[in-house]
Amino acid sequence: MPVAIDAIRKEHVTMARILGLLEDQIDLFERAERPDYELIKEIVEYFRTFPDLYHHPKENLIYRKMVKSAGGEEMQFGDLEAQHEDVAVRLDLFARAVVNFMLEVEVRRDAFVGVARDFINGERKHMAGEESHFLPAALEALTDDEWVEIDRRVENISDPLETSAGIAKFSILVRRMSGLPAR
């Protein structure tokens, strides 16, 4: 199994866990209970940092190799890079809603919850599509030599939650993922 595929699948598992934590906080907010706003902010920062800067470039590299191998034909799962742009738009809308809420700009509870759930559900759907269509197609389409090149290019790109700097930056998130209280 290519290192890049293993890394992407592991990252999907991590992101799914984080989305579960976020969903728990949104559920609290929807019931007019107090969520952990610091945790929500760290989750937003994690998604602003990790997927766009580290995760999606790995997938885009694989996608571009597949398009090149297919002679420029569109892949049956669609344009992955365009899908990543859609993911970024949903994240931006959610991040703006969080900032507005934190600044006490009047935001309707149902509107905030809707934007949050759209982000969560969109991320889950996107990752599920990658797992069921994109990654299997990549494994089938690319040669061993292409995987060696891809693995060489992505081997030093890791999840910030696996570095000491990332653990410090996302301390509340790391503690919650470990099952510990946030503080």
pLDDT tier for residue 182 given thresholds of 50, 70 and 90 = low
Q: What is the pLDDT of residues 16-51, one digit of tens each?
A: 999 999 999 999 999 999 999 999 999 999 999 888
Question: Does residue 86 or residue 75 have the better pLDDT?
Answer: 86
Distance CA 55, CA 88 (A): 12
At the second CATH level, the architecture of 3-177 is: Up-down Bundle (1.20)
Q: Is the per-residue pLDDT at 73 higher than 70?
A: no
pLDDT tier for residue 10 given thresholds of 50, 70 and 90 = very high
φ and ψ of 81, to 5 deg: -65, -40
Domain spans of the chain, in order of start: 3-177
Q: Considering the chain, what is the average pLDDT of its residues?
A: 89
Task: Judge contact between 73 and 67, C-beta under 8 A.
Answer: yes
φ and ψ of 155, to 5 deg: -60, -25
Distance CA 164, CA 140 (A): 36
Nearest to 130 by CA among 71, 89, 69, 79: 79
pLDDT above 90 covers a percentage of the chain that reads 63
pTM equals 0.91
Q: What is the pLDDT of residues 88-131, one digit of tens each?
A: 999 999 999 999 888 877 778 899 999 999 999 999 999 999 99
The type of residue at 81 is: E
